Amino acid sequence: MSGAAPRLGFVGLGVMGAPMCANLARKAGAAVTCFDLDPARAGGPREAGAAVAPSVAALAQAADIVFLCLADGRATESVGAEVLRTWTAAGRRGTLTDTGTTSVHVTQSLAALAAAGGHAFADAPVARMPEAAIAGTLSIMAGGSAGTLDTLMPYLRCMGTDITHCGPVGAGQVVKILHNTFLFETVHALAEVLAIARRHGVDGEVLFHAIELGSADGRAVRVQGRQALLPGDFPGGRFPARYALKDVSLALELAEAAGVAAAVGRHTADILARSCDAGHGDRYYPVLYTQIDTQIDTQAATAR
């Protein structure tokens, strides 16, 4: 990178990426350029002061540090490689940072490509709800060298309030994947106990209130439990079941490599897969409750 003020780029302006990029544009004190395949998604970042590039290559030419926030691992690998090739062809050195939740294989592949061209790489996947992306209060789990993280820290702090350096490249993805999987397993358990309680005539509000007063209290009860499971509200536009299935599948890959059976994760992956097969793949992932509910009804009908 050259100059005292690195130029920033941001690719992927979805539900999380658009507000993250807008926060960078407002707070970083640096030029920000963004890109998304859907130009309509650039509205918020543009209003915050970001320029809009016509292509990934054009963005790479205009930026020294590029953040990726893409939901698909193949897209992350393809876009990241294009950014790195553009820098290398121009004889420049840059820093590529993946803020999405990506397989460790893709992370290591991009890191190797970056190192071969003399570039820096970090994985910095983000957690918390879209509201936190808007407020700039995300939790960020970062993997990379201390020097790379020092370079990125002022910009990560534009998007998040809690940045954890998890270890070398790939460690951020491991921690984020396991974080997500633990949450999905917890919501799965909440959905099960709610369905069982209702079949025994206990109101879900009573159940969750008692859980909150005991040792099982947790954020999942107050957020996914109260906001989604109790009212049966599973809209599109929030973290969808198909993304949850992707993340749990990544966790199962990690478990297999570690020689761990991961029975709980496999059960959660199965119910998420059934939710997607039932046409709920784009709905908020606590929609997995509907599969539990249906299964109970089916078993009761069979018993009769």
Strand partners, 127: 139
pLDDT of residue 296: 73
Residues spanned by the domain of 105: 8-168
In a shared domain, residues 164 and 188: no
Predicted TM-score of the model (pTM): 0.92
3 occurs within a structural domain: no
In a shared domain, residues 164 and 211: no
Residues with a known catalytic role: 176
216 occurs within a structural domain: yes
pLDDT of residue 4: 64
Domain boundary (168, 202, 227) is at 168
In a shared domain, residues 27 and 90: yes
In a shared domain, residues 253 and 203: yes
The type of residue at 148 is T
Please state the domain count of the chain. 2
pLDDT in tens, 5-33: 899 999 999 999 999 999 999 999 999 99
The per-residue pLDDT string of the chain (304 residues; one tens digit each, 9 = 90 and over) reads 445 689 999 999 999 999 999 999 999 999 999 999 999 999 999 999 999 999 999 999 999 999 999 988 999 999 999 999 999 999 999 999 999 999 999 999 999 999 999 999 999 999 999 999 999 999 999 999 999 999 999 999 999 999 999 999 999 999 999 999 999 999 999 999 999 999 999 999 999 999 999 999 999 999 999 999 999 999 998 999 999 999 999 999 999 999 999 999 999 999 999 999 999 999 999 999 999 998 876 766 665 5
Q: 124: closest CA among 10, 3, 262, 41?
A: 10
Domain boundary (111, 133, 168) is at 168
pLDDT in tens, 201-210: 999 999 999 9
Asked if 135 contacts 160 with a C-beta cutoff of 8 angstroms, the reply is no
Distance between CA atoms of residues 36 and 45, nearest Å = 11
pLDDT of residue 301: 60
In a shared domain, residues 13 and 125: yes
Helix (H, G, I), strand (E, B) or coil at 163: strand
pLDDT in tens, 99-137: 999 999 999 999 999 999 999 999 999 999 999 999 999
pLDDT of residue 66: 98
DSSP letter for each residue of 53-86: -SSHHHHHHH-SEEEE--S-HHHHHHHHHHHHHH
Q: 122: closest CA among 176, 71, 75, 41?
A: 176
* Residue 92 burial by Cβ neighbours in a 10 Å radius (0-12, 13-18, 19+): middle
CATH number at residue 203: 1.10.1040.10
1 occurs within a structural domain: no
Q: 94: closest CA among 33, 166, 180, 25?
A: 33
In a shared domain, residues 120 and 234: no
For 166, list phi and psi in degrees, rounded to 5.
Answer: -85, -15
Q: 22: closest CA among 40, 47, 39?
A: 47
